[in-house]
A and B are shown apart, each in its own frame.
Chain A
């Protein structure tokens, strides 16, 4: 069965510092991987996705993620965090067939300190 682990429930980062949010997945084949963000009062917004090809994917708002098959990881990174990045971040895995029932991690809440 598919599963996703986000080991960090909360992370606090200073504004301007770099960020890395961890995500490990369990899936029997090549997965489809996603990072979503939920800002306060908002819905889930897709940051980036990996389907195939280049293992380093670029997303919106300056985020990137790297797929590492050997580590079953898909960590999210940003070189310089802005106060507006404070939100909850969710990693998700979907099957590599068309109808993607997403399996989510428990989320990581990012706090940005001045």
Chain B
């Protein structure tokens, strides 16, 4: 079974540019999560999809970040325009829903390292 995949693995962009990160969850996983780790800090939750619906986006830093999950499969996270403080590693995770109000543990992808210069 393929794990969670993320693309690209690295991205270097200039301040003001746009970047789109992609996450492909494990097949059949309804839950998809985005997290971010700024260098030296903890990994922080950004948002959570259940299928194509945003369940919780309380961790999104501001309106420069836009996440989508069209069709409930892969997800994209767009940063527009990028700022220096957006640099970090963006992780995607997925989990399987097992009945009402329960899910398996989260499986993480390798992350996308974003550097904004």
Contact = CB atoms under 8 A, between A and B. Distances in A.
> Which of B33, B102, B106, B107 has the most A CB atoms < 10 Å from its CB?
B106
A43 B110 contact: yes
A43 B42 contact: no
Interface residues of B, number: 33
B41 A98 contact: no
A107 interface: yes
Contacts of A44: 43, 91, 93, 108, 111
Interface in B49-66: 50, 55-56, 58-59
B110 to A, nearest CB: 4
Contacts of A104: 35, 42-44
B88 interface: no
Contacts of B4: 43
A74 interface: no
Contacts of B55: 99
A4 B40 CA distance: 15
Given A42-B110, A43-B111, A99 B50 contact: yes
Given A43-B4, A43-B91, A104-B42, A97 B111 contact: no
A8 to B, nearest CB: 14
B105 A49 contact: yes
B42 A100 contact: no
Interface of B: 3-4, 31, 33, 35, 40-45, 48, 50, 55-56, 58-59, 91, 93, 95, 97, 99-103, 105-111
Given A100-B95, A106-B42, 17 more contacts: A4-B42, A42-B110, A45-B108, A46-B105, A49-B105, A97-B101, A98-B99, A98-B101, A99-B56, A100-B103, A101-B48, A102-B33, A103-B45, A104-B42, A104-B43, A105-B42, A107-B43
